[in-house]
Structures are given as structure tokens and as C-alpha cells.
Amino acid sequence: MSTKAAAGRKLKTLERVLSKAGIGSRTEARHWISEGRVKLNGRLIRDPDHWVDMDRDKVTFDGKPVRPGAKVYLLLFKPKGYLTTYKDPDKRPTVYDLTKDRKEFLVPVGRLDLDTSGLLLMTNDTQFAERLTNPSYHVPKTYLVKAATLLSEDQLRRLRTGLDLDDGPTRPAHVVRVRDAGRHTFLELTITEGRNRQVRRMLEAIDSRVLKLVRTAIGPIEIAGLETGKYRMLNSSEVEQLLQSARA
């Protein structure tokens, strides 16, 4: 069927239906479809390019109906020990266990590793998620770090000016020494990148390591006042503030 004919009948490819509904990116949708997690009118479909009639067909993902709805933006205080993924083959807890009362399909905005807690945004607005995670926009992310050692001013200077990691130099970080306690330094560290395990690797690069890591803010939005494992909805002003931080 031609694209022109499809447009005239309000048809979309199956992968497009999932991405437009805010479930995930088109790449993720193709993967899920090939895994057999998507049905069309009760029939399993593994072809992501299969045409869907938006007026007549019913699409389900993991048994739940897929339909466009109101945009949802929530802020979750992710606990340590939870995965930022939809399902885990080893049955470990995921952030979706904490948001199971939501009927919408929500995607995490970026990732927090298993041993990191703190602020995690989730949404069904894929354009919003992609903008905040796009490295070219340098959205600031702030962490509270407990270092395994007492850090010198020279070590803090190296964090502030940038470090050479195995995937290239880091951008300068904003670093505040919160306090020294016993044999440990507590830092507030703000970075404008989103590399895998970046904060942990930065501490290792200055001959220390992370004992505790909590993300406390993304852009101007902070996690203060929210209980661990709980979430709250973002209001329209907060969503706009986050988009403004990406534009800046």
C-alpha cells in the first residue's frame, strides 16, 4: 500500500502507533514488536511495518490497549536496588513496580543505574523525553555524592575543569564540597552530560570512588520533599522550566 493511500485512510505503521502513543521510541517499538509483545485485534504481529487502521483496529502492548492520551509527566524518587527498565529477566524490582497504578505507558527520561537513587522523570511524551536526553542540549543534572575518601582541593579542581575518561574528556562540572565527615567527602556535583555511569567514573578518575549517589535535580526541578519510592505529577510550569533548560 502506498504512503498516500495510507494517509488518506488514517493508517499508520505498527511501530509508529506505539511511538506516537508515548510508549517508547520507534527503535524500541520495533524491538518490542519483534519480541511478540504487540497484538493487533487479538492477533500477534511481529512486523513493525504492518499497517494499522487508526479508526478500526485495536492494538495492545503486553495485553494493555494502546491509545493516544493526555500527556503525563511525573517525578519519581527512585530507590536504590530498582532497575530503570520495563521488565527484568531475573525478576528484580523495576521502577514500573512503583508506578503500576498509572494506566498510561510511561518511559523513563534517561537512566539511573541499580545502585543510584533519586530523581527520575517518566512520561508518555516521547518528544519531551528525547529533548531532555539529547546530549547537544546539555541539560544539567545534580547529584549528591558520598566519596570513599577525603578529597583534596586539587581533586575537586580536576572535576571542575574536566577529566579524560575512556570515552573522551568530560565537560567541566559544577562542584560544591558539602562537608567532610570522618574519612569521607560529601559533594554536590552538577554535570551537563549523560554518559553511562559518568559520575562513578569521574570519581574513579581522581583516585576515589562513589559510596552513595543520589540525583537531586534535573535542571531547575528538585526532588526535595518527596519520599523514597513515591512519585508526584509535574505541573505545566515545571514542564516548561525543563524545556527551557534544554533550550538554554
**Residue range(s) in the chain whose domain bears CATH number 3.10.290.10:** 3-65
pTM of the model: 0.78
Q: Which residue has the cell 494499522?
A: 52
Mean pLDDT of the 227-246 span: 95
Of the given ranges (3-7, 204-208, 209-213), which has the lowest mean pLDDT? 3-7
pLDDT digits (tens, 9 = 90+) for 47-104: 999 999 978 899 999 988 887 668 899 999 999 999 998 878 899 999 999 999 987 7
**Residue range(s) in the chain whose domain bears CATH number 3.30.70.1560:** 140-218
> pLDDT category, 217, cuts 50, 70, 90?
very high
Active site residue 180: no
Q: Where are the beta strands (DSSP E) in the chain?
A: 11-13, 38-40, 43-44, 51-53, 59-61, 64-65, 73-78, 107-108, 117-123, 141-147, 164-165, 168-169, 174-181, 184-191, 210-218, 221-222, 231-233
Looking at CATH, the fold of the domain delimited by 3-65 is given as 3.10.290
Q: Which CATH number fits domain 73-135+221-247: 3.40.640.10, 3.30.70.580, 1.10.10.60, 3.40.718.10?
A: 3.30.70.580
> pLDDT category, 212, cuts 50, 70, 90?
very high
Catalytic residue among 49, 88, 113, 164: 113
**Residue range(s) in the chain whose domain bears CATH number 3.30.70.580:** 73-135+221-247
Asked: is 140-218 a CATH 3.30.70.1560 domain? The reply is yes
